[in-house]
Amino acid sequence: MIRVMAALFVLAMSTAASAVIDGHKYPFDDPEDAERFAALAEELRCPKCQNQNLADSNAPVAADLRNKVYELMQDGKSDQEVVDYLVARYGDFVRYTPPFRLDTVLLWLGPLLLFLAGLALVRRTRQHQAAGIAELTEEEQARLESLKRESSESANENPDDQYQKLDKDKT
Amino acid sequence: MNRGLLFLPFAVFVAITVVFWVGLGIEDKSSLPSPLIGQPFPEFELGVVEDGRILTTTDLEGKPALVNVWATWCPTCKAEHAFLNALSDEDIRIIGINYKDDLDKARQWLADYGNPYAYNLSDPDGSLGIELGVYGAPETFLIDSTGVIRAKHIGDLNPVVWETLGETFRGLK
């Protein structure tokens, strides 16, 4: 019960018209703007501590950039304009979503290509295996039948004898 | 089944190892390429640390220069300071940006360790830093005589770095 109430409390807090990051409060008149701010802080990357976003990082430069994002939003800038502003100064690196360009094609399509290559490989292997089974000649088929017959005939004999018999057949 | 196919996983493993080795080992992740190369120096209007006069972007023009972002809280800046003094002795124009720092501390620093800078712009809130895409100090920009940014170096300047960077700098007009 306490957990449910705590969850509801967190949910209620997150919809309030302000975003709190690293102890700093960013008040917004419109709850939607607070959500936009939180989403931007998630999507933008801290250039100093490279595996954290602006929301996670407590590096001074991340705080500066959060303030800048807040300031730009107060000026009525759209999400795209905020992102463009930072990309123009810090490069594509500040975005967690890389742009789709000629030099990033491999990044975007690489996983798909690898998946297709894997699929092709699996299909090829399967076909080979299927072909291998079909390749049993008439002679081999006849031998298989006779072996089956022998084994069912000797089913009541000592199992050790069975194996000896098979071994003899081989040689 | 083709026996050669058995070596495929190993071949893939080797290929991935090589890619990761190159990607993680050689490339310097700590210096990000700056989109500002080839762009004019961002607009500013800031006070000078030494005497408080106000300078703007046009004051940078006239002669190629190094624009060095530094602060007294930055240990690497202290490490590179002697080399900046040496460059200044060679008549290389260095302009400082005192980034997110305390004015008195900055003045004391210059008195203690020498002043290789033509002047230092005071950027206490780091606003020019954001315009320049600064994310750590020291960072050094090379600007030409028209005030266009031609190169950027992240980290300290030293004789090894200067071998290539100095070449670029001497090529500036």
Using the 3D structure, point to which of A31, A59, A94 is the last residue of a domain: A94
Q: Where are the domains of chain B?
A: 37-170
A165 pLDDT tier (thresholds 50, 70, 90): low
Q: What is the full DSSP assignment across A92-136?
A: GGGBSS----GGGHHHHHHHHHHHHHHHHHHHHHHHHHHHHHHT-
Count CA within 13 A, CB hemisphere, residue A114.
8
Q: Which residue of B has its CA nearest to A129?
A: B1
Distance from CA of A156 to the nearest CA of B (A): 37
Determine the residue of chain B that is closest to A45 in CA distance: B135
Q: With an 8 Å Cβ cutoff, is B34 touching chain A?
A: yes
Q: According to the model, what pLDDT value does residue A158 have? A: 59
- Looking at the structure, tell me whether residues A149 and A126 fall in a common domain: yes
Cβ–Cβ below 8 Å for A91 and B131 = no
Which residues are CB-neighbours of A163 under 8 A, at least 6 positions away? none
Q: Pick from B8, B33, B126: which is nearest to A91 by CB?
A: B33
- % residues pLDDT > 90 (chain B): 83
Is the pLDDT at A137 greater than 90, yes or no? no
Q: Which residues of chain A have a Cβ shorter than 8 Å from any chain B Cβ? A: 47-48, 50, 60-61, 64-65, 68, 87-93, 121, 125, 128-129, 132
Nearest CB to B29 within list A50, A89, A128? A50
pTM of the full predicted structure? 0.73
Looking at the structure of chain A, the number of domains it has is 2
Asked whether the beta carbons of residue B133 and residue A125 sit closer than 8 angstroms, the reply is no
Nearest CA to B65 out of B49, B41, B39, B32 is that of B41
Lowest mean pLDDT among A68-72, A116-120, A159-163: A159-163
Partners of B43 on chain A (C-beta within 8 Å) are: none
Provide the pLDDT for residue A12.
57
Domain boundary among A43, A69, A94: A94
What is the pLDDT at residue B79? 94
Residues A23 and A50 in one domain: yes
Mutate to test the interface with A, among B135, B139, B154 (most CBs of A within 10 A): B135
Average pLDDT, chain B: 92
Q: Are residues A128 and A60 in the same domain?
A: no
- Whole-number mean pLDDT of chain A? 82
pLDDT at B11 over 80: yes
User: Domain range spanning residue A26?
Assistant: 2-94
Among A46, A66, A94, which residue terminates a domain? A94
Which CATH architecture group holds B37-170? 3-Layer(aba) Sandwich (3.40)
Q: What is the pLDDT of residue A20?
A: 79
Q: Considering only A6-10, A57-61, B76-80, B108-112, which range has the smallest mean pLDDT?
A: A6-10
How many angstroms from the chain centroid is the CA of residue B67?
8
- Whether A113 and A33 map to the same domain: the answer is no
Please state the ipTM of this predicted complex.
0.81
Claim to verify: residue A12 and residue A82 sit in the same structural domain: yes
Residues A70, A108 within the same domain: no
Nearest CA in chain A to B154: A48
A45 and A25, same domain (yes or no): yes
How many other C-beta atoms lie within 10 A of the C-beta of residue A102?
6
> Does one domain contain both A82 and A111?
no
The pLDDT > 90 percentage for chain A reads 35
Judge if A22 and A89 occupy the same domain: yes
Cβ-Cβ contacts under 8 Å for B139 (sequence gap 6 or more)? B68, B69, B132, B152, B153, B154, B155
Q: What mean pLDDT comes out for the span B139-167?
A: 94
A19 and A70 share a domain?
yes
Same domain for A7 and A88, yes or no, is: yes
Q: Residue B100's pLDDT is what?
A: 95
Looking at residue A85, which CATH number applies to its domain? 1.10.8.640
Q: Which residue of B has its CA nearest to A69?
A: B130
pLDDT tens digit sequence for B126-145? 999 999 999 988 999 999 99
A80-133: pLDDT as tens digits: 999 999 999 999 889 988 888 888 888 899 999 999 999 999 999 888 777 766
* Total CB pairs under 8 A between chain A and B: 43
Tens of pLDDT, residue by residue over B26-76, are: 656 667 788 999 999 999 999 999 999 999 999 999 999 999 999 999 999
Is the predicted pLDDT of residue A152 greater than 80, yes or no?
Answer: yes
Quick check: B100 contacting A, CB < 8 Å?
yes
B129 reaches A (C-beta below 8 A): yes
Highest mean pLDDT: which range of A15-24, A49-58, B1-10 = A49-58
Q: Find the range with the poorest average confidence among A18-27, A113-122, A142-151.
A: A18-27
Distance from CA of A128 to the nearest CA of B (A): 6
Which pair of structure tokens corresponds to residue B2? Answer: 């083709």
The answer, yes or no, to whether residue A8 has pLDDT greater than 70, is no
Q: Which residues of A touch B136 (CB under 8 A)?
A: 48, 61
Q: What is the mean pLDDT of residues B82-101?
A: 96
Q: Is B114 exposed, middle or buried (0-12, 13-18, 19+ CB in 10 A)?
A: middle
Both A46 and A24 in a single domain? yes
Q: Kindly determine whether residue B1 and residue A129, on different chains, have CB atoms separated by under 8 Å.
A: yes
pLDDT of residue B160: 93
| pLDDT at position A160 over 70 | no
Better pLDDT: A69 or A101: A69
Which chain B residue shows the shortest CA-CA distance from A47? B135
Q: What is the pLDDT of residue B77?
A: 95
